[in-house]
């Protein structure tokens, strides 16, 4: 199962766990009773341990003013534009029926494995009257998180390399120590698709086997030259 399908399965499981009413957009009748609401309860997918700007798009059935939005989530750091303590719509703090606008915020998910972060967003607003009281609405959001696990070398690797760069086999060299077998040269792989112990110094500072590919261009099968001798 590829990563996208795994995340899709996690989103479905999350929706079932927290209840469909939280993650599925309400009907038009429900919207008329709620005022402002997110157009979708799903946030764009983000990469773990990476600052990422995301947004939530809002709609309303009545005019609202003085809107402020907060977002929080477990193991998710949240920041707002201009280092403010909250965020609001891109065109101001009002929203009219028939129009939508978004609120932006920055997230950094502290996830070591791919999954779905559950966020809670709260919007405060009034109905634009001079004496209108401030009202609060809360909504659940689901944000897929993709985590990339490092390899075994100092850079990402695909195998058991013991060098300073990626290892795709069982190499012991300073670079790729691998073709189809153990490589002992400082550069070229041993016993692999490229000639081993040739053209590059092998553990002695001098070219192994005359500075040319071993055995007429075929993979070398012997041990590296010792003490700088051919």
Q: Provide DSSP, 136-188.
A: EEEEEEEEEEE-----SSSS--SS---SSS--SSS--SSS--BSSSB--SSSS
> To which CATH superfamily is domain 3-146 assigned?
Immunoglobulins (2.60.40.10)
Please check whether residue 87 is in contact with residue 56, taking contact to mean a CB–CB distance below 8 angstroms: no
- Give residue for tokens 């979708």: 40
Distance CA 42, CA 55 (A): 10
The pLDDT of residue 99 is above 60: yes
Domain boundaries, the chain: 3-146, 150-202
Angle (CA) 119 54 151, round 5°: 85
pLDDT digits (tens, 9 = 90+) for 126-169: 999 999 999 999 999 999 999 987 654 444 444 444 444 444 44
> Residue 120 gets which letter from DSSP?
E
What percentage of residues in the chain have a pLDDT greater than 90?
A: 49
- What torsion, rounded to 10 degrees, do the Cα atoms 34, 37, 41, 47 define? -150
CA distance to 56, 79, 123, 170, per residue, from 88 (Å): 10, 13, 9, 55
Q: What pTM did the predictor assign?
A: 0.56
Between β-strands 52-59 and 76-79, what pairing exists: parallel, antiparallel or unpaired? unpaired
């Amino acid at each position: 199962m590829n990563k996208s399908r795994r995340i899709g399965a996690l989103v479905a499981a999350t929706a079932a766990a927290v209840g469909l009413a939280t993650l599925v957009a309400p009907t038009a009748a429900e919207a008329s009773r709620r005022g402002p609401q997110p157009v979708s309860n799903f946030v764009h997918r983000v990469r773990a341990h990476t600052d990422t700007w995301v947004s939530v798009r809002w709609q309303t059935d009545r005019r609202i003013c003085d809107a402020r939005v907060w977002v929080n989530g477990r193991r998710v750091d949240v920041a707002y534009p201009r280092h403010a303590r909250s965020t609001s719509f891109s065109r101001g703090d009002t929203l009219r029926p028939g129009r939508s606008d978004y609120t932006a915020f920055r997230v950094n998910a502290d996830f070591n494995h791919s999954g779905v972060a559950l966020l809670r967003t709260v919007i405060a607003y009034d109905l634009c009257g001079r004496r209108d009281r401030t009202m609060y609405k809360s909504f659940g959001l689901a944000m897929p998180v993709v985590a990339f696990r490092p390899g075994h070398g100092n850079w990402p690797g695909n195998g058991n390399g013991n060098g300073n760069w990626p290892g795709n086999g069982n190499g012991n060299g300073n670079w790729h120590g691998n073709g189809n077998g153990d490589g002992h040269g400082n550069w070229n792989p041993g016993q692999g698709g490229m000639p081993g112990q040739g053209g590059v110094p092998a553990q002695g500072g001098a070219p192994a086997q005359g500075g040319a590919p071993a055995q007429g261009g075929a993979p070398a099968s012997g041990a590296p030259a010792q003490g700088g001798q051919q």
